Amino acid sequence: MGVNGIYGLSGSGMDIESMVKVGMMSKQNEYDKMAQKFTKNEWMKANYIELNNKITTFNASTLSQYKMSNTMNAKGAESSSEAVKVSASSTADLMSHQVDVEKLSSNAYLVGTNGMKRYGILTKQKDGTADQTSIKLADVLFSSLKVESNGIVSGRVSGVHMTADARSDPTWSQTGNSNYDQRGIVNDNEPVGLVNGRNWYRYERYEQYEQYVQWKNDSDGTISTTEPGDTTGWIKNVKAALESTDNPDEWMRTAKAELVAGVDDSSKWHLVKSTTKPSDSDAENWTTIKSTSETSGESWRKITYSTKIINGVAQSSPPNDENWNPAYEDKHWQFSNGIKIDDVAFEFTIGDGTTKVDADGKVIKNEVTISYKYSDLLGDEETEGKTFNDLVADINKQSNGLNIKASYDSVHDRFSFVNTKSGEDNGIEINFGTDPTNQDSTRSALVARNFFNNMGLLQSKNGLLYNGDNEEPENTSNTILFDLKNAAGDGINSFMGENGIMRVDGITYDDVVDNKLTINGITYTAVKTTGTLTEIKDPATGKVTSRTFDPTEPAATIAVTQDADAIIDKVKSFITDYNKLLADLYAKYDEKPNSDYKPLTQSQKDQMKEEQITKWEEKAKAGMLYHDQTLGKIIMNMRNAVAEKVEGIDSKYDSIFGLGISTTGLKGQLVLDEDKLKKALAEDPDAVYNVFAKLDSQNLDDSAKSGVAQRLGDIFVSANKAIKDRAGSTSDITEDSDLNNLLRNLQTKMSNFKKLMSSFENALYKKYDAMESTLAKLGAQLNYIMGGQS
């Protein structure tokens, strides 16, 4: 529109807008031709990229399998015995082998055998159902665990494992005021010190069972507390003291002798009765009870405590009296004295026996430390304390990078640990990290060691159970005891897997891992032993000094043969894949363009529906690569690659034609005569591999000595480069290529031409503005003249 924007006021009748549009028509046509050329080249670029992607995918995934010896020269193997399974790669020689399995490899495997040792701890169910055995670590590790004021924790360790084994049996001693302080834990005669306030106690309680006995004359009702000389006519009545109708809670109200400071548990005290009034000096420890119908006069009861200190010498032996019986035993570790809620309560390190390189390049053990604070165990209002399941999950975290899997069987209440890799270099190593100079480390280590002892673990090796020390199977009651500090001084409790032993063609291999052994392209998998192996070990080092193998069944015979069926299937598969790709390329190469359909201009699109535009462009895009030189060269090279013979093969089967493959039609489709291929394989087992997959390693640039699949791979790599040079590798036109350069130039021309069109349009408006102005002046003058004459 012109400067004024309003036309026709002069009465000239000029349609300026139409006149400008007509004047711009030639320029618009010129611009539309450039835009159509740009669009057509964009479509061509897209066709090249599609072609490049198809070739790249074929070369990387489909063709790669035909370059492999395992597929084009497949071998099969059979075993005469179920003791050995076998598989063969293409490198295996076609022959037979003899195999004995002397020993199976084993994983490091610790399994609970009798269930977790427990101490009556139950968890109340919220739904009101019966209480369940607790799996909370706080309940199982401790009893009476609680948080005092100011975040101080007190409690005691449950069920400390104490046996005659010197690795874990404590040394007991008696100190003043009847306080029993365990000064250390004997471990190979090396004490591991504990600190004051964290003492060990062992209690044994004995109860005296007393009876009331009375004799009643059946005729006159006379009562006697002594047995009559002649019991004829007398009836004997017996009533146990603990059957008294008195409230049992009242029996415990009297003062207790302070044998153990801080222990206020009435279940550890027992009752002694007397029908004789105690002396005034001792009366404070006695209480009077009412007379009963069974006795005359008053009775008195006294709560006392009988203790046996275990240190090899009986400090206070129980009475040698048939009326006394041991009724209670408790072992615990009492602690308090400043332990805080955020202190470590439970800690150990578990590793798989291997090493790794850390961020600083240092070789370190492949292990992880599991550590829980008291707050972790107790939880809070929003979070439940740690459970067995949490412990298992923390060990099994993938980020730990361990080959160890921990499990908890809630049905049988058993833990197990297994290294998923077998062999003597893979194991389970548990370290409690005891530092005698660190009281907190010692405390948490004792708690963890105690927990593992109570799991009742045994080591399982190929179905037999061992206690970790003996090489002979053990009774399941003799479970593994864990060390705080072993003879080596490192505190590592190590349970390693074992290598298997196989004898192949008379040669013994004692490094079998995961029961697999690979020799010269053959993988032997041991399933069971074929005899009995006797190993003699050096008692000092534990190393095997000699072996004797007594076979109980014949050695397995392994026969390696060619898998002709698998090779033929691969050849068929290659022909199918090759023919499909070649047909797709020919379809693009032979597709003619439709000259009646050119890219639509914007003005044409504005007058069409979306569906009409789509159908139009489908026809307009046809034939973008018709007789394209780059595509034609790829097709020609593919056909030559499969047709030419492979140089350097000392066999008459040196081309696909010798293998029964021929071409049909003008477009090079391959067909197979399967009988000829079978005959070729029978005469030359390497024929298919040589023709298809052979690679001339001496001269990689000489394709004449390479197999068909190798040649095609080289052709496609070259094609990728040629297409990239022609059209780039992506839709982005900034990349350097022939079409991208052309598109960028067109883009620049179109942009400049747009500016020229805008200037030309403005010039037309100015021109017609001037004409309108002149006509207006002329009209005014004419009106003036005509008016003057009238």
pLDDT of residue 21: 77
Which amino acid is located at 640 in the chain? N
Assess whether 236 and 309 both reside in one domain.
yes
Pick the last residue of a domain from 514, 537, 562: 562
pLDDT band for position 702 (cuts 50, 70, 90): low
pLDDT above 50 for 357: yes
Q: Where is mean pLDDT largest: 53-62, 398-407, 502-511?
A: 502-511
**φ, ψ dihedrals at 345, nearest 5°:** -100, -30
- Judge whether 215 and 236 are in contact, CB under 8 Å: yes
Decide if 200 is inside a domain.
no
Decide if 168 is inside a domain.
no
Mean pLDDT throughout 515-534?
Answer: 95
Q: Say how far apart CA 550 and CA 553 lie, in whole Å.
A: 9
Decide if 148 is inside a domain.
yes
Assess whether 373 and 504 both reside in one domain.
no
Rounded to an integer, what is the distance from CA 493 to the centroid of its chain? 25
Query: Residue 199: which residues within 8 A CB-CB, separation 6 or more?
Result: 179, 180, 181, 182, 333, 334
Decide if 393 is inside a domain.
yes
Rounded to an integer, what is the distance from CA 110 to the centroid of its chain? 20
Q: Say how far apart CA 615 and CA 751 lie, in whole Å.
A: 29
- Of 77 and 120, the one with more pLDDT: 77
pLDDT above 80 for 88: yes
Assess whether 728 and 596 both reside in one domain.
yes
Mean pLDDT throughout 645-671?
Answer: 91
CA separation (Å) from 785 to 10, 772, 774, 778, 782? 16, 20, 17, 11, 5
Q: Say how far apart CA 70 and CA 96 lie, in whole Å.
A: 19
Q: What is the pLDDT of residues 113-125, one digit of tens each?
A: 776 766 445 544 4
Q: Say how far apart CA 473 and CA 205 lie, in whole Å.
A: 37
Nearest to 642 by CA among 583, 700, 697, 707: 707
Assess whether 305 and 392 both reside in one domain.
no
pLDDT of residue 462: 80
DSSP 268: G
- Of 128 and 448, the one with more pLDDT: 448
Assess whether 492 and 527 both reside in one domain.
no
Strands (E), 19-115: 75-79, 84-88, 96-103, 107-112
Decide if 58 is inside a domain.
yes
pLDDT above 80 for 186: no
Domain count, the chain: 4
Q: Where is mean pLDDT largest: 152-166, 221-235, 672-686?
A: 672-686
Assess whether 727 and 677 both reside in one domain.
yes
Q: Percentage helix, strand, coil, to 5, in the chain?
A: 35, 25, 40
What's 632-682 look like in SS3? HHHHHHHHHHHHCCCCCCCCCCCCCCCCCEEEECCCCEEEECHHHHHHHHH
What's 772-789 look like in SS3? HHHHHHHHHHHHHHHHHH
Assess whether 492 and 518 both reside in one domain.
no
Pick the last residue of a domain from 496, 528, 543: 496
pLDDT of residue 187: 28
Of the listed ranges 167-176, 216-225, 345-354, 661-670, the one predicted with least confidence: 167-176
Helices 16-57 and 629-643, interaxial angle, to 10°? 10
Q: What is the pLDDT of residues 476-515, one digit of tens each?
A: 555 777 777 655 556 788 899 999 999 999 999 999 999 9
Mean pLDDT throughout 771-787?
Answer: 74
Assess whether 478 and 508 both reside in one domain.
no
Pick the last residue of a domain from 496, 520, 551: 496
Decide if 456 is inside a domain.
yes
User: In whole angstroms, how large is the CA radius of gyration of the chain?
Assistant: 49
Quote the percentage of the chain above a pLDDT of 70. 67
Assess whether 700 and 593 both reside in one domain.
yes
Decide if 331 is inside a domain.
no
Assess whether 445 and 468 both reside in one domain.
yes
pLDDT of residue 518: 96
Q: What is the pLDDT of residues 588-601, one digit of tens each?
A: 999 999 989 999 98
Decide if 196 is inside a domain.
no
pLDDT band for position 219 (cuts 50, 70, 90): confident
pLDDT band for position 766 (cuts 50, 70, 90): confident
pLDDT of residue 470: 53
pLDDT above 60 for 418: yes
Domain extent at residue 264: 205-324
- Of 422 and 474, the one with more pLDDT: 422
pTM to 2 decimals?
A: 0.59
Nearest to 306 by CA among 261, 274, 275, 260: 260
pLDDT of residue 3: 45
Assess whether 535 and 445 both reside in one domain.
no
Assess whether 422 and 516 both reside in one domain.
no
